[in-house]
Amino acid sequence: MFVAFFLSPLAVLVGLSLHAEAAMQTWTIGNYTKFLADRFNLSILWDTLLLGVKATLVCLVFGYPIAWVSARADRPRWQSILLFIVILPIMTSVVVRTFAWIVILGRQGILNQIALGLNLTDEPVRLLFTEVGVVLVLAQVQMPLMVLPILTVMSRIDPNLLDASRALGAGEWRTLWRVTIPLSLPGVIAGCILTYAACVTAFVTQTLIGGARLIYMPLHIYSQAIGANNWPFAAALSVIFMLAVLAIVYALSLLATLSRTHVHA
């Protein structure tokens, strides 16, 4: 099953990327040299990978405290309410969530209406179709992928360790810094891997919030395949993009292994 439904389409993709035309007649590595020789393509790949880093960091900065508060909530009821709020975004479609953000970020949107109402600005601020907008929306849309792994790891930390830290005279912050954060690192890294992979490939959010002027790899692949009908080049783009993301995910998982040995040492 795995071979039939996962590996064979991948093999076709790689095969297509090594041909000059969609009918797969002449073998060539031209699609790859074309990509590597062109700064335009490389800048799109770089922008996309960087976008993922930014969105993942924002996600981590907001997501970690949420996970920490939920894990420490005294009553189970509070914990389940917080958990529900975290999971809520997954229950609606990405398209719906993204459209809601258009209403919030637009020139006539809620944020701009408030800013204008409070005389913070004379002109509506441009948020939609900017990279800042894309990063913010991606961070919100993918938040559950960050919070859930961290929360899982955190709630498995033995509470005695925290008590021991306090009994030995460490304050709340010191306990958080020296005990909770190192022990929750595997969850943080798992969350980062999931969020990163989801952010760089989020075609819907990137195109709806970013518009056509911010070109990231998914839109680039789409316009080569559907718009320009250049399937082999689109396939080559997909393969390169996949390898780049895999490399980053692999680096992150190496970090996870390191952090585990560090904690246990």
Q: Please, what is the minimum distance in Å from the beta carbon of residue 210 to other proteins?
A: 8
Q: Please, what is the minimum distance in Å from the beta carbon of residue 41 to other proteins?
A: 10
Nearer to other proteins, 89 or 211 (CB): 211
Q: Please, what is the minimum distance in Å from the beta carbon of residue 228 to other proteins?
A: 3
* Whole-number Å distance between alpha carbons of 132 and 126: 10
Q: Please, what is the minimum distance in Å from the beta carbon of residue 3 to other proteins?
A: 21
Query: Which single residue is written with the structure tokens 């518009």?
Result: 211
Nearer to other proteins, 16 or 150 (CB): 16
Nearer to other proteins, 47 or 152 (CB): 47
Nearer to other proteins, 98 or 175 (CB): 98
Q: Please, what is the minimum distance in Å from the beta carbon of residue 198 to other proteins?
A: 19
Nearer to other proteins, 4 or 167 (CB): 4
Straight-line distance from the first to the last Cα atom of the chain, in angstroms, rounded to the nearest whole number: 41
* Whole-number Å distance between alpha carbons of 187 and 229: 42
Nearer to other proteins, 127 or 139 (CB): 127
* Whole-number Å distance between alpha carbons of 23 and 13: 13
- Which residue type is seen at 236? A
**Would you tell me which residues interact with other proteins (CB under 8 A)?**
22, 40, 43-44, 99, 102-103, 106-109, 126, 128-129, 131, 207-208, 210-215, 219-220, 222-230
The answer to whether 251 and 195 are in contact (CB under 8 A) is: no
Q: Please, what is the minimum distance in Å from the beta carbon of residue 2 to other proteins?
A: 23
